Amino acid sequence: FLPLAEETGLLVELGSRMLRDSLAQLAHWRAAAYPFANCALSVNVGTRQLVDPSFYDMVVDALSETGIESDSLWLEITETALLSDVKSATVALRDLRSLGLHLSVDDFGTGYSSLTYLKRFPIEAIKIDKSFVAGLGIESEDTSIVEAVVRLGQALGLSVVAEGIESPLQLSRLRDLGCDRGQGYLFGRPRPSNLIERERTGVEV
């Protein structure tokens, strides 16, 4: 679905709607004083979105309309999106970063990133792809790759996030390696907003 949406140009419109809806949901939670609402929001950004001339203004408008401060928003960009048009991506990322929001490289290790680009782009975090985390502590190759990415992030002053954590073994190894953050089914699965509200507060909504 997503590759087709990107190929046909619909991803720009869909991405805009997802960003606006996500920020509006967070604003609703904060207005309702839900205890879990003091959090950051991460939204994926596709290649066409990043280099679209209207994307910057859309982000500014969405933040303004919802009242969410830019420091609460993370935009996650894949390596492919960054390298599709390096010059345009660099300008776009610098403009977005000037708003005070945060930038991370998603699915790190699955593309063709250069250390030069990691230094050039104003990113703050790299996310280790779940395909490597899956073999952590089991496959020596995956373990070595994860360790190398964590060390790379530390050397460059970047936060490192592990994707796809599903077992206590993976979590334990990541902690041993000094990985900063993690996400995955071990912590919880995707849920509709009303279910999250029920589970977190114990109140029917």
182-197 pLDDT, tens per residue? 999 999 999 999 998 8
Q: What is the pLDDT of residue 186?
A: 96
Give residue-wise pLDDT tens across range 52-87: 899 999 999 999 999 999 999 999 998 777 877 788
Please give the full DSSP string across 82-127, using - where no structure is assigned.
Answer: HHHSHHHHHHHHHHHHTTT-EEEEEEETSS---HHHHHHS---EEE
Average pLDDT over residues 5-31: 90
Q: How far is residue 82's CA from residue 122's CA, in Å, rounded to a whole number? A: 11
Give residue-wise pLDDT tens across range 90-126: 999 999 999 999 999 998 877 665 677 788 899 999 9
Give residue-wise pLDDT tens across range 117-175: 788 899 999 999 999 999 998 899 999 999 999 999 999 999 999 999 999 999 999 99
Is the C-alpha dihedral spanning 149, 153, 154, 159 positive or negative? negative
Q: Which two tokens stand for residue 177?
A: 């390696």
Place 205 in a pLDDT band, splitting at 50, 70 and 90: very low
Whole-model pTM: value is 0.90
Closest CA to 46 of 69, 21, 19: 19
Q: What's the maximum distance between 2 C-alpha atoms anywhere in the chain?
A: 51
Q: What is the pLDDT of residue 54?
A: 93
Quick one: CA torsion of 116, 120, 121, 126, rounded to 10 degrees? 40
Strand partners, 181: 161
Place 34 in a pLDDT band, splitting at 50, 70 and 90: very high
Place 35 in a pLDDT band, splitting at 50, 70 and 90: confident
Q: What is the pLDDT of residue 201?
A: 67
Phi and psi (nearest 5°) for 135? -100, 10
Strand partners, 74: 42, 102
